[in-house]
């Protein structure tokens, strides 16, 4: 009898006996020689078919799932189910030696794919807002949740880190009207030069100048206003390239006690940074919708900064709001705000804008107080950034006051 037993090292080791090949074989026998081999099929193989002298072939069974009728030596050479096909046993290929390298390479495939996907996902996650903006044009607003950090990791959670990351996106706005001039602040939201500010900062203005963080000044025009929300959208004329845009966060995630930073131009002091916490949510703040009220306050204030009147807690500040008013829900903060901060940014510690500063109380604004007690007392209000985002399309179309 020809050698039918496995020789050490001739076949791959393991439990996969189906992958071993006999060195020589003439004709199948009725019982296996090696008891370790699987039993023969339940059916009787067809008689041998002699095609050429010296070569013996067997008809294919077409049974691909029982281990005997499929594969390169039973039936179709490529494992397909084609009854009647044949395969020669005269010259079987040499069995593979040692561990199967193909199987190892395949095992690495999924891990390599997962690693590549993880790297791409990380890259996308870190630059989503910027990437979308660059692909869709310069009028796309960068927006994120409050968990997305704009501040570098080494400075995360610090006031200096927030100031460094966001200050280039905050501008000083000088508005000139028939009643005089006033100073406020604004937030750059697109690389095309769109800037969000308060309506009362630019209300009735015949000319608007915007001073960037780098000291350069540009002319701007009003795109749209919404006096009911005290919001306005202006746009730089001949905006320079490379404008640093702010990232608008999610004010719905803001909680009482959260640390915040305010950046603006109080009394014309460009880029002033103050910090504090969120003192309360959903405060009812009432402001005038009549631009003449603000012009009267500017004319009589003489401070060079906007003196927009507002009501809070049944009391009026910065003058008389008049009979035409509107009320909105605001974030309350103890971060120091003064005239000129209006339209500037209230920022979380990740560097996301969570509010647009709109109203502030100082003892000097109370008719019962003297000028010697002027200054911030830690009672300021900001329009939630989600209100701004929901109103942006309307402002771009001219606003509700058009």
Would you please indicate which residues are annotated as catalytic (active-site) residues?
200, 230, 342
The phi and psi torsions of 385 (rounded to 5 degrees) equal -65, -25
DSSP letters spanning 169-186: GEEEEEEEETTEEEEEEE
Task: Give Rg (Cα) of the chain.
Answer: 39
Question: How far is Cα 219 from Cα 306, in angstroms, rounded to an integer?
Answer: 19
Q: What are 333's two structure tokens? A: 């903060």
- Size of the chain in residues: 402
CA 173 to chain centre: 29
Residue 150 token pair: 């704009």
Rounded CA separation 246/129 (Å) = 11
Contacts of 191 (CB under 8 A, 6+ apart): 133, 138, 239, 241, 242, 243, 245
Would strands 217-226 and 207-211 be described as parallel, antiparallel, or unpaired?
antiparallel
Rounded to whole angstroms, what are the CA distances from 75 to 80, 84, 189?
A: 8, 7, 69
CA distance 136 to 88: 63
Q: Which of 383, 161, 346, 136 is nearest to 260 (CA)?
A: 346
Which of these, 217, 111, 126, 206, lies nearest to 171 by C-alpha position?
217
Supply 273's token pair.
């940074």
> Are residues 385 and 397 in contact, defined by beta-carbon separation less than 8 angstroms?
no
Q: Which residues pair with residue 359 across a beta bridge?
A: 381
């Amino acid at each position: 009898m020809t050698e039918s037993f496995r020789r050490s090292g001739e076949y791959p080791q393991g439990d996969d006996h189906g992958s071993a090949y006999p060195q020589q074989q003439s004709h199948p026998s009725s019982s296996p020689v090696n008891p370790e081999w699987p039993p023969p099929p339940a059916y009787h193989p067809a008689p041998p078919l002699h095609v050429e002298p010296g070569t013996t072939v067997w008809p294919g069974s077409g049974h691909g799932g029982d281990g005997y009728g499929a594969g390169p030596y039973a039936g179709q050479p490529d494992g397909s189910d084609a009854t009647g096909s044949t395969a020669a046993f005269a010259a079987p290929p040499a069995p593979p030696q040692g561990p199967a390298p193909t199987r190892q390479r395949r095992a690495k495939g999924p891990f390599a794919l997962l690693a590549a996907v993880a790297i791409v996902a990380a890259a996308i996650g870190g630059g989503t807002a910027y990437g979308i903006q660059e692909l869709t044009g310069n009028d796309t607003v960068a927006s994120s949740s409050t968990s997305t950090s704009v501040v570098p990791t080494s400075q995360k959670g610090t006031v200096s880190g927030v100031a460094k990351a966001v200050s280039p996106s905050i501008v000083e706005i000088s508005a000139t009207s028939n009643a005089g001039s006033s100073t406020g602040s604004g937030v750059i939201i697109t690389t095309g030069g769109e800037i969000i500010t308060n309506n009362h900062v630019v209300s009735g203005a015949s000319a608007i100048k915007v001073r960037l963080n780098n000291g350069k000044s540009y002319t701007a025009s009003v795109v749209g206003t919404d006096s009911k929300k005290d919001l306005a959208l202006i746009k730089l004329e001949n905006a320079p390239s490379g404008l640093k845009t702010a990232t608008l966060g999610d004010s719905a995630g803001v909680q009482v006690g959260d640390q915040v930073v305010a950046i603006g131009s109080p009394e014309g002091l460009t880029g002033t940074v103050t910090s504090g916490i969120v003192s309360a949510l959903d405060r009812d703040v009432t402001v005038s919708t009549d631009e003449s009220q603000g012009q009267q306050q500017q004319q009589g204030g003489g401070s060079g900064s906007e003196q927009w009147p507002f009501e809070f807690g049944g009391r009026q500040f910065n003058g008389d709001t008049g009979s035409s008013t509107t009320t909105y829900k605001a974030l309350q903060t103890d971060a120091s705000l003064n005239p000129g901060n209006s339209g500037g940014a209230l920022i979380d510690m990740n560097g996301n804008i969570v509010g647009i500063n709109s109203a502030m109380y100082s003892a000097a604004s109370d008719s019962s107080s003297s000028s010697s007690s002027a200054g911030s007392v830690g009672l300021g209000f900001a329009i939630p950034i989600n209100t701004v985002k929901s109103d942006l399309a309307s402002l771009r179309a001219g606003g509700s006051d058009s």
